[in-house]
Amino acid sequence: MSLSLRQLEVVHAVSRSGSVTAAADALGISQPAVSMMLRDCARLAGFPLFLRKQGRLQPTAETKLLLPHLERVFDGVERIGRLIEDMGDAHVGTIQIAATATLADNILPVAIAAFQQARPRVHIVVRTTDSPSVIASVLREEVDLGLVLSPLIHHDALALDLCIADLVAIVHPGHELARREVVEPSDMERFPLISFSRSQPLGTLVEQAFREAGVPRRIALEVNQSSVACSLARAGAGIAVIDPFWIIEAREHGVVCLKFRPKTPVTAQVLVNKSTPLSRSARHFLVTLRQTARSLPHQGALR
């Protein structure tokens, strides 16, 4: 019959202190209980564990062979205890995040930087992908959080709004419309339009805005990322209507950001799996993420 972890703990404590009294104090049990467990341990082991020399208990040669292994075992137990304590305070763990490129480029880095200041030992994994893949990753429980732009249909995931902002128009600083404060679809008819397909949330919103204005949306350059639309506008290839989340400061990107009318709101959302509770670390990060999303300027379009 093998020794239990509690019995090994007694052997470990006595070998370190050389005293039944000190071991009992360290373990929080009585001296008779320690003495009884030592006798049981010696009986189960089949050899003496300690010899008394000069008033102290000294490990036998056999016990000395065990001591390095006991040290590793109880060092591991101590580390597990610290890990559990840290996990309870949400200071360790792993958070898996899937995000569309726009939100991964803008809101997410600021939130992660703020979160890591308080919890530097939490491991964060970020995957950048398209909206359908973000939703699929959340539903398959491959990630804890998914960041997308609405409108999207995701009935099986819980969607939490991060912030709402209005679409903006992006042009080269030398563009004919660059000095305008506001542009409408009718102003844009004469220029190449950089836009998204109807299969994407932003494409749906832009299509609705043009329809509301009574102007056909004729796409000259079709893209699937706001960053690409912005680069094309910066190169003078046309005028883009994008979400404001990708651009915190338009001048840093070499473009001019204009208000777009009709006012068309777009919502940044975080998705979580309805059937899987978030870890404490993920819940704390979600709080930081929502605070960050509400604090960024987003060209003054945030609300």
Sketch out the chain's domains with CATH numbers: 5-88 (1.10.10.10), 93-164+267-300 (3.40.190.10), 168-263 (3.40.190.10)
pLDDT at position 188 over 70: yes
Would you call 70 exposed, middle or buried from its count of C-beta atoms within 10 A (0-12, 13-18, 19+)?
middle
pLDDT tens for 10-36 read 989 998 888 899 988 988 999 999 899
Question: What are the angstrom distances between the C-alpha of 142 and each of 108, 112, 146, 161?
Answer: 18, 19, 10, 21
| Averaged pLDDT for residues 4-8 | 88
Query: Which residue's structure tokens are 């960053």?
Result: 227
Is the confidence at residue 82, as pLDDT, over 70? no
> What's the rounded mean pLDDT across residues 110-135?
91
Sign of CA dihedral 19, 22, 26, 31: positive
pLDDT per residue as tens digits for the range 191-242: 999 999 888 888 989 999 999 999 999 999 999 888 899 899 999 999 999 9
pTM: 0.67
What is the pLDDT at residue 90? 57
- Which pair of structure tokens corresponds to residue 205? 């919103």
192 in Cβ contact with 240 (< 8 Å)? no
Question: 269 with 161: CB under 8 angstroms?
Answer: yes
